[in-house]
Amino acid sequence: MRKHAISLLGLLFALGVSAASAQATPSFTISATNTTMTASGASIPFTLVSLNGYAGKLGVDCGATNPPAGARLPYCGGGPAFQIALAANATAKGSVGLSAGPAPLAPASRSNTPGHGSGAAWAFAGGILLFGLGFGRRKARWLSVLLLSIGALAELGALSACGGGQPTLTTGTYDYTLTAYDTTTNATASTTVKVTIPPGIPTSAM
């Protein structure tokens, strides 16, 4: 009797394990590696793993996680066109690129855009022009041409001063989230990595 009872318990256990395995939902995971930004760009390597026999095509989205207001951070690739085929019980590797632009400009950098000092330059040129017109029409002709040229040069100088050079990415270490998703079932899996930005990385946005 004892042997029969042990055999019966073993059979029930095996059936339970088999049923649990059959009920396991096919899924996947994603993991990624931290990286450091460079002036020429960077990439975030990631690995996809099939669980419980999952097989399908996965898209990968990437973006900064809760970026600070006004921070200039790298643009991360991915998106709907970025898809990787993952076979059942297998792994697949890939990477998403980081580029230095487009990067948002801080509001202060555009605060003086409407004038850039041009109003004062042209007002000064116009004032002298009107003064010159008082000396006669002949003198006014060449004087007006001269002053218009001076005004144009002053405008160019003001615009150059407003530019202040090419902006750079915001120095620091920031979290980026990579999300893999099944393009048919919309099942998802996410991971977070850290992207370090050293000083002096120029952006491609002016």
- Tokens encoding 63: 């973006």
Question: What CATH number should be reported for the domain holding residue 172?
Answer: 2.60.40.10
- Do 90 and 126 fall into the same domain? no
- Do 78 and 35 fall into the same domain? yes
Asked if the structure places residue 72 within a domain, the reply is: yes
- Do 58 and 136 fall into the same domain? no
Q: What span, in angstroms and rounded, lies between the C-alpha atoms of 31 and 180? A: 10
User: Residue 56 belongs to what domain range?
Assistant: 26-103+168-197
Residue 164: what pLDDT?
57
- Do 121 and 150 fall into the same domain? yes
Q: What span, in angstroms and rounded, lies between the C-alpha atoms of 104 and 176? A: 17
- Do 173 and 98 fall into the same domain? yes
Site of tokens 């026999």: 53
Asked if the structure places residue 145 within a domain, the reply is: yes
Identify the weakest region by mean pLDDT among 18-22, 32-36, 156-160, 179-183: 156-160
Residue 162: what pLDDT?
43
pTM: 0.62
- Do 65 and 119 fall into the same domain? no
- Do 154 and 183 fall into the same domain? no
pLDDT of 1 over the 80 cut: no
Band (pLDDT 50/70/90 cuts) for residue 155 is: very low
- Tokens encoding 39: 């002036």
- Do 54 and 138 fall into the same domain? no
- Do 130 and 174 fall into the same domain? no
